[in-house]
Amino acid sequence: MSTSLIGSLQTFPHGVHPEEYKELSCNRRIERMPFVELYTLPLSQHIGAPSKVVVKEGQKVRRGEMIAEPGGFVSVGLHSPVDGVVHAIDLFDHPNGQVLPAIQIRTDRFSTQQLQLKPVPPEEMTTAGFIKAVQWSGMVGMGGAAFPAHVKFSIPEGKTCKHLMLNGCECEPFLTCDHRVMVEYAEELIDGTRILARFVKPEKVYIAIEANKPDAITLIREKAAEMDFAIEVVPLEVKYPQGAEKMMISAILGEEVPSGKLPLDVGVLVSNVGTAVAMSQYFRQGLPLIERVITVSGTALKRPSNMLVPIGTPMRDVVDYCGGITVPSPRILLGGPMMGMVQKNLDVPVVKGTSGILALTDHEVRDLDTYSCIRCGRCLDACPLFLNPALLGMLSRKGLWEEMEENHIMDCFECASCSFVCPSGIPLVQSFRVGKAMIRERKAK
């Protein structure tokens, strides 16, 4: 794909250029995943308190009906993705590797799965009402971290949102779901942004898109003009991790978010494009977050696709629908190849934060021989936060947690650029996860 729309593109300093692998699925239209027999909906699909169950085993539920309500302010509602019966409320495998409480719903085979929902007009809402509506709609950031959207949209006293930024960078290799959403749901995207802008009142609205999605860039410019909504489309250089909030803000405004602070401290609110589309669908059609678009890809997969999948669908069904896996021993992961989470089997469900299911072969994932650190400095040139990964890795191997903290390890957001470039195959980011966990544990004591 073309990477140069205009002469020189805005970006952040440092970063890496992994192979993109987007051509596998970027031109495939979003398909709707057929309904399956059983859905598993973990109560913790977001950062924060788990949702509270409001249904009983054996109870009939309608598609879009609330089955668990927010368990606190930093928590969201959960809705049934199908007409069916509550089959079980129990512990189930969660994509994060733990075994956690979830509601299982058995689909009503005779239902037409017709939605019976009412729009929630935002026009007469107060800001507090809007925040509550977003919370109860089950909305989370769709970029992968799954932070409750309403918490982000609640602007504290004394702070203002000067810049609203829509994140359509999608810098992780393989993933094309945001790209397809921008191309196929451009109107909803702009409408959802308009609804959000009504309440957070930004001075300026941007949408950042990496330059490898020229069709999305052109289309959103056209649609925004058509719908008379002022949004600046900013093409950014194709570079990982361009889609990280801090890096995107650096690229657009040339400003840094101070350590330990939030983007709002520099007057910025960032939202994923998928979240904006889900906002429009909720307020205009009354559709809570019961489905999302994911990319199913990888060279171990027969038919790479972009799928609109009901939340709670087992990975196995999605993979089977896409033709199944063609190699005997793949690596299965949820999310992108740089930050995604490996899965031991296909039994876990698609959750709200799932951006993709990848099945990779040894063709992409090479087993690395490890050598000693030769202090080549490639990791220093890669780290978007200007940390010293070579030093931090050495400190982690020696168990010097305090020294790691002094060298700002807690700022690391684990983008894995350092591990990507290390010619000695040293598991740097992996050792940082250990170091961060140790530091947190000591703090807790």
Partner 1 sequence: MKTIISTSPFLHHEATTPKIMWEVVYTLIPVLGVAVYYFGLSALLVSAAAVAGCLVAERLFDKKKKAIGDGSALLTGVLLALCLPPGFPLWIAFLGGMVSIGVGKSLWGGLGQNIFNPALLGRAFLQAAFPEAITTWDLPTGNYWGVRGTNLAMPFFKGTPVDAISTATPLSQLKFSHEVTSTMDLLVGNVSGSLGETCGLLLILAGVYLIARKIINWRIPASILATAALFSGILYAINPQYPTPQFTILAGGLLLGAVYMATDYVTSPLTTKGIWIYGFGIGFLVVMIRVWGGLPEGVMYAILLMNAATPLINRFTKTRVYGHEK
Q: How far apart are CA 82 and CA 102, in angstroms?
A: 16
- Using CB under 8 A, which of the segments 112-120, 153-161, 183-191, 254-262 binds partner 1? 254-262
Tokens of 2: 């073309």
Output phi, psi for 422, to 5 deg.
-60, 115
Each residue 380-409 as x (binds partner 1 by CB under 8 A) or -, in order, gives x---xxxxx-xx---------------xx-
**Residue 10 per-residue DSSP state:** B
**List 332, 350, 351, 404, residue binding partner 1 (CB under 8 A):** 332
Tokens of 343: 């899965």
Q: Is 262 in the site for partner 1 (CB under 8 A)?
A: no
Q: Is 329 in the site for partner 1 (CB under 8 A)?
A: yes
Considering beta carbons, is residue 216 or 416 the nearer one to partner 1?
416
**List 201, 302, 375, 442, residue binding partner 1 (CB under 8 A):** 375
Beta bridge partners of 79: 66
Site for partner 1 in 141-180 (CB under 8 A): 173
Q: Is 242 in the site for partner 1 (CB under 8 A)?
A: no
Tokens of 51: 């949702």
Identify which of 365, 366, 345 has the alpha carbon closest to the alpha carbon of residue 357. 345
Q: How far apart are CA 331 and CA 314, in angstroms?
A: 17
Considering beta carbons, is residue 74 or 346 the nearer one to partner 1?
346
Task: Give exposure, 187-205, as e/b (b: 16+ Cβ within 10 Å).
Answer: bbbbbbbbbbbebbebeeb
- Using CB under 8 A, which of the segments 84-92, 99-107, 108-116, 323-331 binds partner 1? 323-331
Considering beta carbons, is residue 119 or 324 the nearer one to partner 1?
324
Task: Determine the longest span between alpha carbons in the chain, in angstroms.
Answer: 64
Proportion of the chain in helix, strand, coil states, percent, rounded to 5: 30, 20, 50
Minimum distance from residue 342 beta carbon to partner 1 (Å):
6
**Hunting for tokens 């925040």 — which residue is that?**
131
**List 420, 432, 435, 436, residue binding partner 1 (CB under 8 A):** 420
Minimum distance from residue 433 beta carbon to partner 1 (Å):
8
Count of residues that bind partner 1 according to CB under 8 A:
64
Site for partner 1 in 341-370 (CB under 8 A): 341-345, 358, 360, 364-366, 368-369
Tokens of 139: 């909305």
Q: How far apart are CA 138 and CA 69, in angstroms?
A: 9
Minimum distance from residue 424 beta carbon to partner 1 (Å):
5
- Using CB under 8 A, which of the segments 39-47, 163-171, 176-184, 412-420 binds partner 1? 412-420
Please name the amino acid found at residue 241.
Answer: P
Q: How far apart are CA 210 and CA 385, in angstroms?
A: 20
Site for partner 1 in 8-47 (CB under 8 A): 16, 18-19
Full DSSP string of 162-194: -EEEEEE---SSS--HHHHHHHHSHHHHHHHHH
Identify which of 57, 168, 72, 191 has the alpha carbon closest to the alpha carbon of residue 121. 191
- Using CB under 8 A, which of the segments 29-37, 119-127, 144-152, 373-381 binds partner 1? 373-381
- What 3-state DSSP class applies to 100? strand
Minimum distance from residue 136 beta carbon to partner 1 (Å):
33
Output phi, psi for 333, to 5 deg.
-140, 155
Q: How many CA atoms lie within 13 A of 124 on its CB side?
A: 3
Tokens of 53: 């169950």
**List 34, 156, 158, 258, residue binding partner 1 (CB under 8 A):** 258
Minimum distance from residue 251 beta carbon to partner 1 (Å):
13
Q: Is 120 in the site for partner 1 (CB under 8 A)?
A: no
**List 159, 261, 397, 440, residue binding partner 1 (CB under 8 A):** 261
**List 216, 231, 277, 421, residue binding partner 1 (CB under 8 A):** 421
Q: Is 328 in the site for partner 1 (CB under 8 A)?
A: yes
**Contact positions vs partner 1 (CB under 8 A):** 16, 18-19, 173, 246, 256-261, 325, 328-333, 335, 337-345, 358, 360, 364-366, 368-369, 371-378, 380, 384-388, 390-391, 407-408, 411, 416, 419-421, 423-425, 427, 429-430
